[in-house]
Amino acid sequence: MKLAHQTAIITGSSSGIGRAIAVAFGREGANVVVNYNSSRAKAMEVVQQIKAEGGDAIAVKANVGKEADVLKMFQKAVEAFGQVDILVANSGIQDDAPFLKMTIDQWNNVITTNLTGQFLCAREAAKHFVAQAEGTTTPRAIGKIICMSSVHDMIPWAGHINYAASKGGVLMFMKSIAQELAPLRIRVNAISPGAIQTPINKSVWSSEENRQALMKLIPYRRIGQPEDVAKAAVWLASDDSDYVTGETLYVDGGMMLYPEFSDNG
């Protein structure tokens, strides 16, 4: 039980990667706050699964792009479990369009959820960590933040410039707050998944033709599963990674290895 007696807020955890992280954290003994934006029923399924496996969890509705919602989510976590020790800022959306046709609404929606949402959640988490730790001494981190980024924090992505800009922003956001918060003994890291089979990218794995095309981008020759990312998140949230901060862990089956150059380019 690597996360026993700790409380974790996982944003956007009613589906996909967030859901797998919520379940994995529950198995490691954490109290889990399953944040959702729209589907309470799906969030409650995750809560029930965690409880059925002997863990504890609550579902909390919050739009991560709205400051008042984020503040309320942290309040509810504290009311239920006493404190907050881990934040996984996982919520994210895509709203794709060619650059010349992208509307300001498409740009703003993605930046607000994917980047501003991380700012609002991480700032609130850090405030809670500092207030909770006052007067206590522990050689370990007083709190941990994991930012869900993407291989597109490094790989340019035509047709998805709002998404790539948001994840590129997450990279420097993560590193800058890691630098600022390390002296307070708060660890901040990111996970950058490659292609993981979730609802966000159904179009790329639901047809055989698209799946074959995708395999050309993945040297390891399989699509990732949400559990692949959840295992990395458990490690980054636990004391096993206590000396790791400001790092991005790419969980991508080698997508960042320029596979198109594997046969002499």
Q: What residues act catalytically? A: 163
Q: How many CB atoms lie within 10 A of CB 152?
A: 22
d(CA 38, CA 41): 9
Least distance to ligand NAD, CB of residue 39, Å: 7
Pairs from 208-216 (Cβ < 8 Å, separation ≥ 24): 216/259, 216/260
Q: Which of residues 45-104 bind ligand NAD (CB under 6 A)?
A: 63-65, 90-93
Out of 3, 8, 9, 11, the only residue in the binding site for ligand NAD (CB under 6 A) is 11
Judged by CB under 6 A, the residue of 106, 132, 201, 225 near ligand NAD is 201
Length of the chain: 265
Site for ligand NAD in 169-198 (CB under 6 A): 193, 195-196, 198
Is residue 17 a contact point for ligand NAD (CB under 6 A)?
yes
Residue 184 beta carbon to ligand NAD: minimum distance, rounded to whole angstroms: 25
Does 162 engage in binding with ligand NAD (CB under 6 A)?
A: no
At residue 31's C-alpha, the angle toward residues 80 and 78, to 5°, is 30
Among 57, 59, 115, 148, binds ligand NAD (CB under 6 A): 148
Chain center to CA of 223? 18
Distance CA(86)–CA(145), nearest Å, equals 6
Q: How far is CA 7 from the centre of its chain?
A: 16
Task: Give the interface with ligand NAD as residue ranges (CB under 6 A).
Answer: 11-12, 14-18, 36-37, 63-65, 90-93, 113, 148, 150, 193, 195-196, 198-201
